[in-house]
Structure 1
Amino acid sequence: MTYRLHIDPSLHATYKSLPDQARRDLAVCLLDALVDPFAHSTCYGIDDGVMRTIAHGHTAGVILIGDDTVTVVQITHIG
């Protein structure tokens, strides 16, 4: 199953403001997560099966996994 991506417009603005490499890193993580979010993410704190972390390079994100959706709730770039 392929999940649908949801991202708030203000968080999308944060994504657009990232450097090119950081946007690519996060995009790859999100594409992988849409195919299998549990295989391509790690626990965010306590493993509740809903909040997960994706990361590559200097960019990370926190996602919320629903029945058929992946929602981006946080983006972090250290650069």
Structure 2
Amino acid sequence: MTYRLRLDPSIHAIYASLPEDGRRDIAVCLLDALADPIAHSVPFGVDDGIMRILAHGSVTISVLLDHDAKAITVVQIGYAG
């Protein structure tokens, strides 16, 4: 089952302010993770299956996984470009 993506408007503003390569890397991370977020992420600290990190190219994304609601919430975007 595919997860839903949740973005706070402030997180979306960060995404929108990035150059095209950063937005593309974020899209790749998130689209891959929607089908299987555990397989496409690594633990953030202790592996609780909830707080995870996605990374691709020049970006890292911190997410919260809600397995019951099948939702991925982006909480932070890092860009090294």
Question: TM-score per shorter chain, which class?
Answer: over 0.9
The residue number in structure 2 matching 1:75 is 77
Match of 1:4 in 2: 4
Q: Which residue of 2 aligns with 1:38?
A: 38
Which deviations, in whole Å up to 9, do the C-alpha atoms of 1:5-56 show, x marking residues without a partner?
Answer: 0000011000000110010001110001110000000001111110000001
What is the distance in 2 between the residues matched to 1:70 and 1:6? 6
Instruction: Name the amino acid aligned to 1:52.
Output: R
Q: What letter corresponds to residue 23 of structure 2 in structure 1? A: R
Structure 1, unpaired ranges of 5+: none
How far apart, in 2, do the equivalents of 1:20 and 1:30 lie?
A: 15
Secondary structure in 2 aligned to 1:73? strand
Count of residue pairs brought into register by the alignment: 79
C-alpha deviation, 1:58, in angstroms = 1.3
Instruction: Please provide the CA RMSD for this pair.
Output: 0.6
Sequence identity (%): 59
SS for the counterpart of 2:54 is: strand
Unaligned runs of 5+ in 2: none
**TM-score, scaled to structure 2:** 0.95
Aligned to 1:23: 23
Q: Which runs of 4+ in 1 moved over 3 A?
A: none
Q: Normalising by structure 1, report the TM-score.
A: 0.97
Match of 1:39, SS state, is coil
